[in-house]
Amino acid sequence: MSNAKNDFVLPIVVLTVICIVVSLALAFTEQATAPIIAAAEKAAAEAAEREVLPSADSFEPVQATGLPDGVTEVYRATNGAGFVFMVEGKGYGGTVKGIVGIDAGGIITGTKILSHSETPSLGGKTAEEPFQSQFPGKDSTLSGVSVISGASVSSRCFIGMVTQAFSAYDIVKGA
């Protein structure tokens, strides 16, 4: 019985104890880091909001019904400078998340891709400055905005996201 205990039971007990200790350590680590991660995400979101609508002093969330698909959040500048729209769409490589700032007059003040899984050498170019710099100063017609050759799916995805932001702008501007 002594050999059976040493050969079978003892390793099971040791592995069970190790699993319990590791699980407790992971739970403690998650509990300790969750507020830090949440604060960092909030700071990054606020920085992105200020980047696309720099004339705003601060932002407040807008609760609106009937927002178009792809518009996930809307924030109003408390000084009336405009709105910031969190948008997402389906690109070539997956979901693309972005942010669009539109001033009180209906003109884009800035755009930015927050995350994407597009091919870096093609669709990833939509997150870079040559493409993004087309949008500031444009109205809802997006006149003069062009797609990136070879990355038309990703480009059209982001242009569609900006168009959805304008649709949401029409809903919330009078609210």
DSSP string over 45-65: HHHHHHHHSTT-S-EEE---S
Tokens 């407790």 map to which residue? 24
Q: Averaged over 3-28, what is the pLDDT?
A: 90
Q: What is the pLDDT of residues 130-140, one digit of tens each?
A: 899 999 999 99
Say if CB 127 and CB 115 are below 8 A apart: no
Q: What is the pLDDT of residues 68-91, one digit of tens each?
A: 999 999 999 999 999 999 999 998
Domain ranges of the chain: 53-172
Q: Is the pLDDT of residue 19 over 90?
A: yes
Q: Is the pLDDT of residue 122 over 80?
A: no
Say if CB 101 and CB 84 are below 8 A apart: yes
User: End-to-end distance of the chain based on CA atoms, in angstroms?
Assistant: 78
